[in-house]
């Protein structure tokens, strides 16, 4: 009888997560919006950086299932029959031709988006052991919801056109059980590397370390639909104690995401109805960007937001053929202009050089 209970207690000890260190988030108390993001950044920055090669050796401690196999979120079928399983080290990639050949290091925030900068390139909070073939198919596409898939993995992950407002290009959609994991990894990345992204690049989903509103809206939905799991808590503790000496705040305290970004997502979703009544020129712009009117003269109100959701300009005016917005004083980056007029809201994006 005792022998039969031992595996249960071994499993229990694996899943019981440690308490958050006393006082770890004290400096973030009572804050919201960008002030909260800055406070969390200061808490989790200066983590212990492991080498990129050491990521392989970390996986058996951070991503091991109770049966000792690799916990691959792109092939796992919670409560169902697995198409295949990987053994640590033995099935490490390597070359692959099809699913089940080997597992790779998946940067959920693709390396090309941050130019493989040391630090984020080995940050375990966004790197997972993933089937090599599926990793290759996901490539560096953003995440989003797919209705008409061009590719479906064995566990149901999908690649295809995005159905979320604001983006209609190719995206990858993991299964529902791991959408929240991905989202909270992104919340960590944008917070951990806030203002430390000078060498980073841009993509359709991010501007350096800032998540663009359409992608943020997707991730916030996934964060809410797929709550923090015991797996995530255990992984968070393992990364903190064994490797990086920092934590993912959005696993420890999921409500931090709403406190920081609910306003940004709200602005974006209110402008989900897009039309072609207006356009911008020139784009990119250095000194001024013009709203070009393709319809009737109208009383309009425009608001300009940066990628963090901060309002940087607003004005009510009469828009005839064109209307100038001075932008010379704005920092370089991506901005969104919301134009309320002609009985609808238009969302336009421009780049300040």
Q: What is the pLDDT of residue 190?
A: 98
Residue 229 predicted with pLDDT over 70? yes
Residue 279 predicted with pLDDT over 50? yes
Q: Which helix (H) or strand (E) holds 165?
A: none
Q: What is the pLDDT of residue 268?
A: 66
Residue 16 predicted with pLDDT over 50? no
Minimum mean pLDDT among 136-145, 221-230, 253-262, 276-285: which range? 276-285
Minimum mean pLDDT among 186-195, 201-210, 286-295: which range? 286-295
Minimum mean pLDDT among 13-22, 190-199, 294-303, 309-318: which range? 13-22
- Sign of the alpha-carbon dihedral angle for 69, 73, 78, 83: negative
Q: What is the pLDDT of residue 218?
A: 95
Residue 14 predicted with pLDDT over 50? no
Q: What is the pLDDT of residue 46?
A: 96
H helical segments located in 53-207: 54-62, 132-138, 179-192
Minimum mean pLDDT among 266-270, 280-284, 292-296, 317-321: which range? 266-270
User: What is the per-residue pLDDT across 26-36, written as a single tens digit (0 to 9) for each?
Assistant: 999 999 999 99
Rounded to the nearest integer, the mean pLDDT of the chain is 89
Task: With cut-offs at 50, 70 and 90, classify the pLDDT of residue 266.
Answer: low
Q: 């319809």: which residue's tokens?
A: 295
Mean pLDDT of 69-76: 97
73 or 340, which is more confident? Answer: 73
CATH architecture classification, 271-352: Sandwich (2.60)
Q: What is the pLDDT of residue 271?
A: 55
Residue 7 predicted with pLDDT over 80? no
Residues 7-31 as b/e (b if ≥16 CB within 10 A, e otherwise) read eeeeeeeeeebeebeeebbeebeeb
Residue 296 predicted with pLDDT over 60? yes
Mean pLDDT of 2-17: 38
Mean pLDDT of 59-71: 97
Residue 2 predicted with pLDDT over 50? no
Q: What is the pLDDT of residue 15?
A: 40
d(CA 86, CA 75): 10
14 or 228, which is more confident? Answer: 228
Domain spans, the chain: 15-269, 271-352
319 or 240, which is more confident? Answer: 240
Task: With cut-offs at 50, 70 and 90, classify the pLDDT of residue 205.
Answer: very high
Residue 240 predicted with pLDDT over 70? yes
Q: What is the pLDDT of residue 294?
A: 81
Long-range CB contacts for residues 339-342, cutoff 8 Å, separation at least 24: 339/278, 339/291, 339/300, 339/301, 339/302, 340/300, 340/301, 340/302, 341/277, 341/298, 341/299, 341/300, 341/301, 342/275, 342/277, 342/295, 342/296, 342/298, 342/300
Q: What is the pLDDT of residue 276?
A: 59
Cut 0.85: pTM above it: no
Mean pLDDT of 66-92: 96
Task: With cut-offs at 50, 70 and 90, classify the pLDDT of residue 12.
Answer: very low
Q: What is the pLDDT of residue 349?
A: 81
């Amino acid at each position: 009888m005792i022998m039969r209970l031992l595996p249960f207690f071994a499993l229990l000890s694996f899943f019981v997560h440690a308490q958050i260190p006393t006082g770890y988030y004290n400096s973030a108390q009572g804050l919201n919006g960008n002030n909260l993001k800055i406070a969390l950044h200061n808490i989790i920055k200066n983590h212990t950086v492991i080498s990129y090669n050491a990521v392989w050796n970390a996986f058996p401690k951070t991503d091991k299932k109770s049966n000792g196999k690799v916990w691959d979120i792109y092939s796992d079928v919670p409560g169902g029959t697995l198409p295949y399983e990987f053994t640590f080290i033995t099935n490490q990639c390597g070359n692959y031709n099809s699913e089940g050949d080997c597992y790779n290091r998946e940067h959920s925030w693709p390396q090309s988006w941050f130019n493989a900068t040391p630090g984020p390139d080995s940050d375990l909070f966004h790197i997972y052991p993933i089937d090599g073939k599926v990793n290759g198919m996901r490539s560096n596409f953003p995440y989003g919801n797919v209705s008409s898939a061009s590719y479906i993995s064995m566990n149901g992950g999908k690649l295809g056109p995005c159905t979320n407002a604001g983006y209609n290009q190719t995206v990858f959609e993991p299964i529902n059980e791991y959408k929240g994991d991905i989202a909270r990894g992104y919340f960590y990345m944008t917070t951990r590397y806030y203002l430390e992204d000078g060498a980073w690049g841009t993509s359709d989903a991010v501007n350096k370390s800032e998540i663009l509103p359409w992608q943020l809206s997707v991730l916030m939905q996934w964060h809410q639909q797929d709550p923090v799991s015991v797996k995530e808590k255990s992984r968070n503790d393992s990364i903190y104690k064994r490797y990086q000496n920092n934590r993912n705040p959005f696993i420890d305290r999921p409500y931090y995401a709403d406190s920081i970004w609910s306003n940004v997502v709200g602005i974006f979703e209110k402008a989900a109805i897009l039309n072609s009544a207006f356009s911008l020129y020139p784009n990119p712009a250095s000194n001024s960007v013009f709203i070009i009117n393709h319809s009737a003269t109208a009383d309009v109100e425009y608001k300009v937001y940066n990628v963090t959701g901060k309002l940087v300009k607003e004005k009510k005016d009469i828009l005839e053929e064109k209307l100038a917005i001075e932008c010379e004083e704005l920092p370089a980056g991506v901005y969104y202009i919301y134009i309320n007029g002609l009985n609808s809201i238009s969302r336009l994006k421009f780049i300040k050089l």
